[in-house]
Amino acid sequence: MAKGHGPSSASRGSLRSVVTPFESLGCARALGGSSVVLESQGRLGVEGLRQPGGGWSHLQVARLVLGLRCLLCSRLWLMLLVPFLEAWEVNRGTNCVTTYLADCEAQLCQAPGKGLLYGVPVSLKECFSCKGHDSTLGLSRNQGTPAECDCVVVQVLKLQGAVPFVHTNVPQSMFSYDCSNPLFGQTTNPWMSSKSPGGSSGGEGALIAAGGSLLGLGTDIGGSIRFPSAFCGICGIKPTGNRISKSGLKGSVYGQVAVQLSVGPMARDVESLALCLRALLCEDMFRLDPTVPPLPFNEEVYTSSRPLRVGYYETDNYTMPTPAMRRALLETKRSLEAAGHTLIPFLPANIPHALEALSTGGLFSDGGKRLLQNFEGDYVDSCLGDLISILRLPKWLKGLLAFMLRPLLPRLAGFLSSLRPRSAGKLWELQHEIEMYRHSVIAQWRALDLDVVLTPMLSPALDLNAPGKATGAVSYTLLYNCLDFPAGVVPVTTVTAEDEAQMEHYKGYFGDIWDKVVQKAMKRSVGLPVAVQCVALPWQEELCLRFMREVERLMAPGRQPS
């Protein structure tokens, strides 16, 4: 296994233990092992970080001290310095950080001496707009266009005393579950450098897993919080689409509402996710963005200990679970039953149609025209696979290819068919069909009187550049974006040698290129984390978190990157 970048022992716990953080920490260890280059604009010196060697020059230390001169006392200084150095050290091995948010020192001085996140450094996926900083999304056209103000979520974090301190890397345009772009390069998995950290919140997953951040925020429209969390062995939750404000976020496509984008937290443990949601679901957010339903965090639901009725499925019959995925699901099921919960077989109806016609059709209802505009005159990163080339095909050719491929490669044919642009009337029909599908699955759920659902989660991590060639493997996550159900992932085990041996016989359900890529890209995975997915009905994030916490209590493997 390639060298990881693990956290210090002081940063392994939940945020609950560090709300008054770093008082017992010294900075000698961090200073001794880092190589940091600060530039006057606060931009991370990427080339400097990529150079070999460690240790600081006296001049670099002096510059850092001068840059932090506004801090009020040594306690405040350490609150920012220690996580800053941890993040930089992690970045040297994973290339997960894009920008140092240079005004965080002054913001720490001005932060109210209260708030649920007072003094907690928070990392942000690069799409979270911060005043004075670019959110490039790995696209050249977005360079040199700094945000005029903080997005609503960043404003609320600051009002709760948190200190946003870095932007983290994303795949180009964020339309991938890998993490690479021409501006900042490839982010790697801290468990094994040949593996992807997932995406599109891949920088967050790598930074948090390796101990460079206690808490991060990501976004999710097809699994973009859940893939990095699963691949990197941390916890993450995708809330209902409008539970947390999206106002002010940077995107590559605006106006697409058929499949909902969500904002959610990522951390090493479920309690930290809950603390973040407590902090965000406050009067400040409801005031700054009145379009968000004013639903504060429901403590009674989260802290309940009543036995749960849990639906579960071993496979969605679209992406064959790997041996490790199936074992993780069944071991979690048995542990839940032993703890007194009731497990009931359940499978949402018509999943292929939901993935191909509804989800893909909704995401690309303009035929990909708006997404393609982002790439005009720009290099297309390899992490996107053939997506951009396919979107550039004329409408008639997409239709012809879909017709020709359907007998032999039905999944690829369904995907191609859904990439054709549609009229406003056809889009309305699609959105109505999504709404009806959502109600039909809710009816299935309620007919069994379920509280939550347990599903497999794609894992372990795929090889670098493989996600762009295995589009169909998003099935376990994309379904719940289409349904707009809250869904989170929890690591429960690691890949064994037996899992690896059984993977040699993996064929998938269709034997197409997507199945073949999954089989090949999950080799050499012994020791990598494997997760399960926990799902609840819309607006029941607290119940989803309560279920995740129960899974974590029963199953958490307790390992981190070495």
For the annotated catalytic residues, the residue numbers are: 125, 200, 224
Task: Report the distance separating Cα 80 and Cα 75, nearest Å.
Answer: 9
- Give the chain's largest Cα–Cα span: 70
**Residue indicated by tokens 């951040």:** 213
**Residue indicated by tokens 């879909």:** 402
The residue type of 54 is: G
Task: Report the distance separating Cα 320 and Cα 458, nearest Å.
Answer: 10
Task: Report the distance separating Cα 12 and Cα 561, nearest Å.
Answer: 11
CB atoms within 10 A of CB 390: 18
Per the CB < 8 A criterion, the answer to whether 551 and 249 are in contact is no
Task: Report the distance separating Cα 449 and Cα 427, nearest Å.
Answer: 33
Task: Report the distance separating Cα 288 and Cα 265, nearest Å.
Answer: 19
Task: Report the distance separating Cα 458 and Cα 531, nearest Å.
Answer: 8
Peptide bond into 200 cis (omega under 30): yes
C-alpha separations of 354 from 241, 316, 416, 433, 482 in Å: 18, 12, 15, 10, 7
DSSP of 54-120, one letter per residue? ----HHHHHHHHHHTTT-SSHHHHHHHHHHHHHHHHHHHHH--EEEE-TTHHHHHHHS-S-STTTT-
Task: Please return the burial class of 23, using the count of CB atoms within 10 Å of its CB with bins 0-12, 13-18 and 19+.
Answer: exposed
Task: Please return the burial class of 276, using the count of CB atoms within 10 Å of its CB with bins 0-12, 13-18 and 19+.
Answer: buried
Task: Report the distance separating Cα 93 and Cα 81, nearest Å.
Answer: 19
Residues 6+ apart with CB under 8 A from 427: 258, 365
Q: Angle 480-304-238 (CA atoms, 0-180°, nearest 5)? A: 20
DSSP secondary structure code for residue 326 in this structure: H
Note the residue count of the chain.
562
Radius of gyration of the chain from its Cα atoms, rounded to whole angstroms:
22
CB atoms within 10 A of CB 102: 18
Beginning with the edge strand found earlier in the chain, give each strand of the sheet holding 121-125 in spatial order: 97-100, 163-168, 121-125, 215-220, 262-267, 235-238, 487-494, 529-535, 452-456, 309-312, 342-345
Tell me if residue 414 falls in helix, strand or coil: helix
Task: Report the distance separating Cα 175 and Cα 252, nearest Å.
Answer: 9
